[in-house]
Amino acid sequence: DTGVSQNPRHKITKRGQNVTFRCDPISEHNRLYWYRQTLGQGPEFLTYFQNEAQLEKSRLLSDRFSAERPKGSFSTLEIQRTEQGDSAMYLCASSRGDLAVQETQYFGPGTRLLVL
C-alpha cells in the first residue's frame, strides 16, 4: 500500500496525559499537512510542512501542540496535557507540492483521539 499511513488508528487517554501520533506520507510527496476533524464537521487545517520545514501553523494549534518532520519524511504530532476538547480525528495528508489542479492532497485514515 503506497498511500498515506497513520498510527495509531485509535488512542484513548486520560486528561493531562501527552500523546503522539505518527504520519507516513506518500514517498515522493514533499508536502505534509495535519488536519483536525470533529464530529459532524469538515477537516480543519492545523499545520503543514515543506520537507522538514514547518511553513505555517493555524491558530487552532495551541502551545500544547507541536509537530515535527525531522528528516522530511514521516511526521509526528504531539499533544501535551491533553484536554477533553482535544478529542477528534487527526488527519494527515500529503501532496507533491503546492496545491494544484489534479494534484490535491491525499489523506490518511486518521487517528481518532478520545480524551477521558
Partner 1 sequence: QQQVKQSPQSLIVQKGGISIINCAYENTAFDYFPWYQQFPGKGPALLIAIRPDVSEKKEGRFTISFNKSAKQFSLHIMDSQPGDSATYFCAAIRLGTGNQFYFGTGTSLTVIP
Site membership for partner 1, residue 106 (CB under 8 A): yes
- Identify the residue among 91, 94, 113, 115 touching partner 1 (CB under 8 A): 91
To the nearest whole angstrom, how small is the minimum distance from the Cβ of residue 16 to partner 1?
27
Does 72 contact partner 1 by CB under 8 A?
A: no
Residue type, 91: L
| DSSP sequence for 36-84 | EE-TTS--EEEEEEETTEEEEE-TTS-TTEEEE-TTSS-EEEEESS--G
**Residues engaged in binding partner 1 (CB under 8 A):** 4, 9, 31, 33, 40-45, 48, 50, 55-56, 58, 91, 93, 98-102, 104-110
